[in-house]
Structure 1
Amino acid sequence: MVISTASGHTNPQPTVDTKVPLVSNQLTDGTEQQNGPMNCEERAVRVVRRELVLDRTAEPNALPFVLQGYVAWIGRVALDPIKLQYTARDFVLSHFGDGDESRWIVGLIANIGSRIGSMEFVGGEPNLMLSMLQAAVRRRLGSTSSKRAALAKALNSAIEAMLIHFHASPLSETVTLRQEAAPIFRQLYSASPGAPIDLYSLIQHPCLWHYAFIDILFGVATDMPTLFRYEVSFPSHQHSTTYQGSQGDGIIQWLHGIPNQLLFVFAYMKLMRGDGLTPNDDTVASLERTIHELPPFDGSSSNRFVSVIRSVVQECWKQAALIYLYMAVCGDSSATPRVKEACKRYMRLLNSTQPGRLPDEHLVLTLQLVSPAAQRQRDRAVIKQRALGLYTRDRTHRETTLFLFVMDDVWTRADTEDRPVMWSDVAVSQKRILGA
């Protein structure tokens, strides 16, 4: 089943504003740029800008500034920016040379991204640019041609804009782009309308794989249906070659810290939960084994601190996946031994790191998934401190404050009724607090 993606919205139609510079000449490092590994961004800048051939007809210096701004953004947001340096360069060059609208979008992404976390951003100045970016991307999604190259660039623009909005805007902006990009994702998938999406086939197509990641993780975190039904099985025989090929890291892990194999696991668990299926012991054991046996993060940094943090992020995701399996899929309460053990391991990992943008920015969704399992008051206090710290530090991740309101309601109701938390409590509190 494919959930309807027709939005009924009218795409806003502002034109490119030539008075707004593509990228500020004053690129900022952010208030807490990578907590130390500045060498990652500096190396990425050198690689991206090497051997560039500038278009003589382009606005002088526009391309170098866009490249520098976009790399600053990737240096901030990616868990392993060095692994993404060539992807970043190709993205900018491809979109910068694809006409005014495409150049405008990539310029806005670079401009906004380079400012996120800065004092200028905290002051609220980029709000106009965020609106411009949303309007331009929606317009492109609504007017793109039937050519695959144009469709892919439109979807890529939407994915990049969603990443910006996840850090800087209300959740509704990301939701809108996710819905309006869905028809293009379906066209690029090249299957009959209404057919399930073979998740294994997407791993060789980074753009489609990244959109599927957003759709699946959004569904998992919000407990809402995904826009598409994803076909995935455990253990896999039909797709064994493809699945084995996913054992290495990839763009999702370099950017977000989540291994490819873990997305397969989340997709399968989300499918079971959506179908109302309770897994048998063999299925649970297979999923547990897959999660436990995930290979360690193969990062590019020689900095020991960065390497440790990246490993912590992956281990935290593994514990979050186990809690989702036990509570959301199997129906366990927060008081069951296996839930308590996974929560204890997660909190031990979290407490082994200092609060800060790295690693907390890569753990936002795990905090949301783990919080229903937190029974001890001190664990709940740490979760609130780490989630709220991202917003109070530089006014990013504003939606984390709403998630904390929801979880406070969940915890208060369960404590008042003298019972453990159930996963269904989250949906009840979301409706009470958010009306959703």
Structure 2
Amino acid sequence: MIEASQLNDDVDESEGLEEIQAAAIGFLSLDRTTESNGLPFILQAYATWLSHFTFEPLRIINLARNDTLRSYVSGEECRQIMNMMAENVHEVTRSAAYNPVQSSSFSTTQAMLQRRLIEARTRIGTPGKPSHDSIRPLLTSPSKWISLMSKVGSLSSLLDFMQLVAPVFRRACPDPLERLVNLPALFATLDVTLQYYSTADVLLSVLTGRPMFFRYDVYFTPTVPESCFFLVDAPGARWAYGVPDRLVMTFAQMNALFEDFGPHVPTQVVDELEQEINSMKPIIAPSTEPIVVVGRMVVQECWFLAALIYLYMGLSGDNSTDIRVANVRTRFMKLLASVRPRRNPDSFLVLPMTILGVAVNDWDERDMIRRRMLGVSECTRPGRMGNDLVRILDNVWSKRHPIVWSDLRQAYWEVAGV
């Protein structure tokens, strides 16, 4: 059983909670008995969430603070939603045993967000359609809710909510509706809500084998060159999951190829993607904590190796015993063994470890992956996406033949119904 305190055990060794809260709250008073101090407590809740559940909280805190301030002054209904979401965050971060089914705040918040999204979907489907600038603010709270659901909700409930958000997201993007959303251009903006949704869309497609909600244009332009995504302070959503933004674009391309060709992508294309992935390097922001630097490097390296497993098994049809897969698996397991089990970085390794699991044949290695995943509180509790992923790997490993990529897709359907 994971104790509630374990949710907090690594915060002091990542970006300090006090530092993050200071950046979010600033000079604002924290006297909750004063009605006018609702804003500081919302900021405190979001700062606590970022410190627990994001890869680079200090990198995003100022944008999150400004976004919160804009939303807070935009209307009473927005403030009501923000207060309810803050209450949910306080409940989640106080105890690893939090259960959304038993939380009236969770169900009330979700119902209000769903109603607003349905209203927005109606607006964008009527004559005189609103501009993307007027639609974009409607995604602020849903994007935060997607983040929360990825930690406390099931995979199927997360995908259902993202499906509801999808047409609103597309209308909020600046690209003309007859064209694909350009991912580099989207990542080059300061719009965190659009970046977060598109990143989640791409990564969930990699994990589940389901088509993305949208296909994306991944071509660079003179105004948004590839080089800008190799910078430490590069735009994008690396702060959230720890996936380098340049790799997210490659994943989007791979997802589209997999949808078109399955495991029979032309060899030349596979070779080009292999070269592209192998050329990528971790992008590490400075930190005063060496353990943070090492953890962030390991997370990004593991994502590069997960991309190669997806390339070989998903797009090329290799099975778990093929030599290319075996070589990557060996590198991945050594990298995983190089850092001791802790919530940070293990909570950011759950997704790439799920991909690694498809390539593992040895039961000792499988047990190591399973134990690392179950060391993360979200993976221990039934009804959460993390626990879904553990059970999905158990299903994959129950197959007696060498594992193929389609076993993972079948497991998602059998275990999670997605």
Residue by residue over 1:274-300, the C-alpha shift from the partner in whole angstroms, topping out at 9 and shown as x without a partner, is 001634444333322322232332224
| 2:35 corresponding residue in structure 1 | 59
> How far apart are the structure 2 equivalents of 1:377 and 1:37?
32
**How big is the shift at 1:227?**
1.3
Shift of 1:51: 4.7
Verify: 1:305 aligned to 2:291, yes or no: yes
Q: 1:37-87, CA deviations, whole angstroms, 9 ceiling, x for partnerless residues?
A: 265321122122225599xxx932211111111101111111111111201
Partner of 1:260: 245
Alignment of 1:407 onto 2:393: yes
Secondary structure at 1:316 match in 2: helix
Match of 1:243 in 2: 226
CA distance in 2, matches of 1:218, 1:403: 12
Residues 410-429 of structure 1: pairs in structure 2 closer than 5 A: 410-413=396-399, 415=400, 419-429=401-411
Q: What is the rounded CA distance, in whole Å, between the counterparts of 2:397 and 2:5 in structure 1?
A: 38
Equivalent pair of 1:364/1:400 in contact (CA under 8 Å):
yes
In structure 2, give the amino acid aligned to 1:245.
C
User: Per the alignment, do residues 180 and 393 of structure 1 end up closer, same or farther by CA in structure 2, a change over 3 Å counting?
Assistant: closer
**Structure 1 segment 223-302 matched on structure 2, within 5 A:** 223-232=209-218, 241-248=224-231, 249-276=234-261, 278-302=264-288
Q: Secondary structure in 2 aligned to 1:227?
A: coil
SS at match of 1:94: helix
State how far apart, in whole Å, the 1-side matches of 2:341 and 2:96 are.
Answer: 23
TM-score by length of 2: 0.87
Given candidates 158, 177, 185, the residue that maps to 2:161 is 177
Match for residue 135 of structure 2?
151
Distance 1:354 1:252, change over 3 A: same
Structure 1 pair 200/60, CA: closer, same or farther in 2 (3 Å)?
Answer: closer
Secondary structure, in 3 states, of the residue corresponding to 1:203?
A: helix
1:315 pairs with 2:315: no
2:126 — aligned with what? none
TM-score norm. by structure 1 comes to: 0.83
Quote the Cα distance in structure 2 between the aligned partners of 1:286 and 1:273.
15
Matched letter for residue 351 of structure 1: A
Aligned counterparts of 1:35 and 1:353: Cα–Cα separation in 2 = 17
Shift of 1:344: 1.3
Q: Distance in 1 between matches of 2:12 and 2:278?
A: 30
Task: Give the structure 2 partner of residue 198 of structure 1.
Answer: 182
Contact 1:155–1:184 at 8 Å: present in 2 too?
A: yes
Structure-2 change in CA distance of 1:392 and 1:120 (3 Å): closer
Q: Contact (CA 8 Å) 1:35, 1:356: kept in 2 or not?
A: no
The aligned runs of 1:6-405 (5 Å cut-off) are 31-37=7-13, 40-51=16-27, 59-119=35-95, 121-122=97-98, 127-144=103-120, 146-205=130-189, 206=191, 207-232=193-218, 241-248=224-231, 249-276=234-261, 278-391=264-377, 395=381, 398-405=384-391
Distance in 2 of aligned mates of 1:428 and 1:172: 15
- Residue 195 of structure 1: SS of its match in structure 2? coil
Q: CA deviation digits over 1:196-220, x for unaligned, max 9?
A: 3222321223332222111111111
Matches of 1:323 and 1:378, distance apart in 2: 20
Contact 1:70 1:113 in 2 (8 A): yes
Distance in structure 2 (CA, Å) of the matches to 1:188 and 1:318? 30
Q: Secondary structure at the match of 2:348?
A: coil
Deviation of 1:385 after TM superposition, in Å, equals 1.2
Aligned partner letter, 2:269: T
CA distance in structure 2 between the aligned counterparts of 1:351 and 1:397, rounded to whole angstroms = 29
Q: Secondary structure at the match of 1:381?
A: helix
Partner Cα distance (1:196, 1:138) in 2:
26
List gaps (5 residues or longer) in structure 1.
1-27
**Contact persistence 1:405–1:433 (CA under 8 A):** yes
Distance 2:355 2:86 in 1: 31
Deviation at residue 240 of structure 1 after TM alignment: 8.5
In structure 2, stretches of 5+ residues that fail to align are: 124-129
Give the stretch that moved more between structures: 320-329 or 398-407.
398-407
How many angstroms apart in 2 are the aligned matches of 1:370 and 1:218? 15
CA contact (8 A) 2:237 2:245 kept: yes
User: d(CA) in 2 for partners of 1:194 and 1:307?
Assistant: 42
Residues 55 and 239 in structure 2, CA contact (< 8 A), matched pair in contact too: yes
Q: 1:83 to 1:49 in 2, by over 3 A?
A: same
Task: Kindly state the Cα deviation for residue 95 of structure 1 after the two structures are TM-superposed.
Answer: 1.4
Farther-moved stretch of structure 1 (396-405 vs 322-331): 396-405
- Mean Cα displacement is larger for which, 291-300 or 335-344? 291-300
